[in-house]
Structure 1
Amino acid sequence: MSQVQQSLGEGPESSFVSHLVELRDRLIRASIAIIVVFLGLVYWAPDIFKLLARPLMMNLPKDGKLIVTDVTGSFFVPMKVTMLVAFVIALPYVLYQIWAFIAPGLYQNEKKLVAPLVGTSYTLFLCGMAFAYFVVFPTIFRVMTHYNAPLGAAMNTDVDNYLGFVLTMFLAFGVTFEVPIFVILLVRMGLLTVPKLKEIRPYVVVGAFVVSAVVTPPDVFSQLILAVPLIVLYEAGIIAARLFVSGQPNATPEQGSDA
């Protein structure tokens, strides 16, 4: 440690501690934002869960219904759903806190990319969730009801199991809609090129159907609903990479004003 660092008290150890303190403060702010939104929504927790369950309820047979198999399920499941909704609403502020923490260590040209990248990623993730809610859920539940009818069994779904299913679908389709961002980043970082992305297209198609077979229910319609958008979004990523990244000269990194 240099004498200057010693005199100013800014050695490596103090710098590390200050970063930890800043990280803690930003995590606290992000958590408070989520809690504040949650408290603002908690009164409507049952209505929020009913809205989430609407695609299932509209496609259940007359004798089908949601059931509670856990003593506390009727209370905690709506609370979980409301907390997740609060997280999604507060996510822009959470992402801002993450950005504010890492920004001083980025180059100026990298800082310019972060805002549009984060905004686009958030929007695409919401689009994926909306696609799952308005298109995928009604289709899957309608198909499952059709398969259940010949069995003559009552189609009763536990609220906790239903929540786990829809969260898996939301995550799967949210990530699927991020594919164009992943493709652009891979090309931007020089890990892949547009010709290489076209070359591996057959493997991506096979991978899309493998992923959909694992994530969705075991019927052709459900698998196509995930695989086809995944392939289309991959192609959209290739087009976007060719338009916005390929052929651009690599920018010379310049340290930001905070460097």
Structure 2
Amino acid sequence: MSKEPVKEMSFLDHLEVLRWHLVRAFGSVFIFAILAFIFKGFVFDTVILAPSNPDFFTNRLLCELANILNMPLLCINQAQLSFQNINMSGQFTTHIWVSFVVGIVVGFPYIFWEFWRFVRPALYQNEINNSRGAIFFASTLFTIGILFAYYIICPLSVHFLGTYQVSESVENIVNLGSYISTITSIVLAGGIIFELPIFIYFLAKVGLVTSDFLIKYRKHSIVIALLLAAIITPPDVISQILVCFPLIILYESGIVIAKRLEKKRQTNLPDKN
């Protein structure tokens, strides 16, 4: 299908359009950040600090599983961590930073929608039709990644790093900023990593990668997945496996997506006869 003629825009016109999309995207982040700043009790007590609490869902589930399997090591985060703030403005700046991160996480679907609205005029109608549902799938994968990181990786990381000791004479009193930095980095990394199939989709769409290329470098992807798992998780085997396994599944999903795009592209080729 041919593309309908549209008025050609200059480079400055494109920048002006992009500017307003960015303004609206950052505006949504700012609004959600203000709401997060206001409801700090829910954000900190119910969400941020929860993985260190013995009553957290994952901690309770693992302890119940430990009782069933008679494996006490599975019962984690039963001793409440002690947090401290050593900077005069530490809690205030932490409050602002966390509110900003919450604004990004909650506003991600709208941010992606604004990005889609910017690139949509440059697409052909068949490309727009084939890309329907992109916002839904991108938002869904981002949410799944965040939930996976929050409910699986964060409790394991908190337990390992919070209880690790070089000597019994050294007590772990965790700095609040350090704890929150760890939690937010793990959660955001989880959300971004789970966007891998969407990333592969766009690369395959423009022809930068193919299914054969992805299959050829499958072994390399496993090594990269292990490295990423080692970066965003504590240095224990169980946590790294829990992160590496979904990464491999996401990569294999990317191969399937690339194959489907190639098959559709071959189907749409004009008949030479």
TM-score by shorter chain over 0.5: yes
Q: In structure 2, which of residues 209, 214, 228 is the aligned counterpart of residue 192 of structure 1?
A: 209
Give the Å deviation of 1:247.
Answer: 1.9
Instruction: Give the distance between the partners of 1:129 and 1:185, measured in 2 at CA.
Output: 22
Instruction: Give the distance between the partners of 2:217 and 2:11, measured in 1 at CA.
Output: 43
Q: Which residue is 2:52 aligned to?
A: 56
Q: In structure 1, which of residues 164, 176, 181 is the aligned counterpart of residue 181 of structure 2?
A: 164
Percent of residue pairs bearing the same amino acid type: 29
Instruction: Give the distance between the partners of 1:62 and 1:151, measured in 2 at CA.
Output: 16
SS of 1:79's equivalent in the other structure is: helix
Q: Does 1:30 align with 2:46?
A: no
Q: Structure 1 residues 113, 68: closer, same or farther in 2, change over 3 A?
A: farther
Q: Structure 1 residues 245, 28: closer, same or farther in 2, change over 3 A?
A: closer
Give the Å deviation of 1:226.
Answer: 1.8
Give the Å deviation of 1:74.
Answer: 1.4
Q: Which residue is 1:133 aligned to?
A: 150
Q: Which residue is 1:5 aligned to?
A: none
Instruction: Give the distance between the partners of 1:198 and 1:17, measured in 2 at CA.
Output: 41
SS of 2:164's equivalent in the other structure is: helix
Q: Which residue is 1:87 aligned to?
A: 104
The Cα offsets for residues 176-213 of structure 1, whole Å up to 9 and x where unpaired, read as 21222233334443333334423322211122112222
Q: Which residue is 2:73 aligned to?
A: none
Instruction: Give the distance between the partners of 2:80 and 2:181, measured in 1 at CA.
Output: 23
SS of 1:192's equivalent in the other structure is: coil
**Aligned residue runs from structure 1 range 1-20, under 5 A:** 15-20=10-15
Structure 2 spans left out of the alignment, 5+ residues? 1-6, 55-75
TM-score (norm 1): 0.79
Q: Does 1:97 align with 2:109?
A: no
The Cα offsets for residues 118-171 of structure 1, whole Å up to 9 and x where unpaired, read as 321221111111001101111222233453396343222212112221222123
The Cα offsets for residues 226-257 of structure 1, whole Å up to 9 and x where unpaired, read as 22221122123323444x324223557xxxxx
Q: Structure 1 residues 146, 221: closer, same or farther in 2, change over 3 A?
A: farther
Instruction: Give the distance between the partners of 2:11 and 2:255, measured in 1 at CA.
Output: 40
Give the Å deviation of 1:20.
Answer: 3.1
TM-score (norm 2): 0.75
Alignment size in residue pairs: 240
The Cα offsets for residues 43-100 of structure 1, whole Å up to 9 and x where unpaired, read as 2123302221210243656473111122112122122212221222222222222222
Contact 1:60 1:141 in 2 (8 A): yes
Q: Which segment drifts farther, 131-140 or 155-164? A: 155-164
SS of 1:248's equivalent in the other structure is: helix
Q: Which residue is 1:204 aligned to?
A: 221
Q: Does 1:45 align with 2:51?
A: no
Contact 2:77 2:158 in 1 (8 A): yes
Q: Which residue is 2:246 aligned to?
A: 229
Higher relative contact order (CA 8 A, sep 6+): 1
Q: Which segment drifts farther, 48-57 or 152-161? A: 152-161
Q: Structure 1 residues 33, 145: closer, same or farther in 2, change over 3 A?
A: closer
Q: Does 1:217 align with 2:212?
A: no
SS of 1:71's equivalent in the other structure is: coil
Q: Does 1:248 align with 2:264?
A: yes
Give the alignment's Cα RMSD to 1 decimal.
2.8
